[in-house]
Amino acid sequence: MDQAVLISELAPLVAIGTVAIVIGWVAVTWMRIRHGYPLENSWGNAIYPKTDAEAAERIKMLSQENAQLRAEMSAVKDRLETVEKIVTDRGYALDQEIEKLRITTN
């Protein structure tokens, strides 16, 4: 009878302990995914993210897009530099002053 009482008293503690361990494992896995750490199987091998052909193709496409955007940004910077030179040039300001005089005299 003593063993039955002992088991009936320990059963809830074992159940609570098991639930706590499972919740802790889920929380740790969620945090690892959220912060970008690779998931590991029981042997310590990474299982996520997998490096397959689709991921390699996506990386290739993103690299090409990045290069294209950098080239476009460079062209925009060059154009902006040209516009800044025109605007800060004394001749441009002189042209604006002449246009103001034409508008006020008409």
pLDDT tens digit string along 41-83? Answer: 777 777 765 567 777 888 899 999 999 999 999 999 999 998 8
Residue 68 domain boundaries = 51-106
Domains identified in the chain, total number: 2
Question: Do both 12 and 23 map to the same domain?
Answer: yes
**Of the candidates 50, 70, 90, which is a domain's last residue?**
50
Question: Tokens 């052909």 identify what position?
Answer: 53
Question: Do both 105 and 56 map to the same domain?
Answer: yes
20-34 as b/e, with b when 16 or more CB fall inside 10 Å?
eeeeeeeeeeeeeee
- Mean pLDDT computed over every residue of the chain: 84
pLDDT at 88 over 90: no
Question: Do both 43 and 55 map to the same domain?
Answer: no
How far is 19 from 14, CA to CA, in rounded Å? 9
Question: Do both 69 and 45 map to the same domain?
Answer: no
Q: Which of 52, 48, 30 is nearest to 40 (CA)?
A: 48
The model's pTM is: 0.40
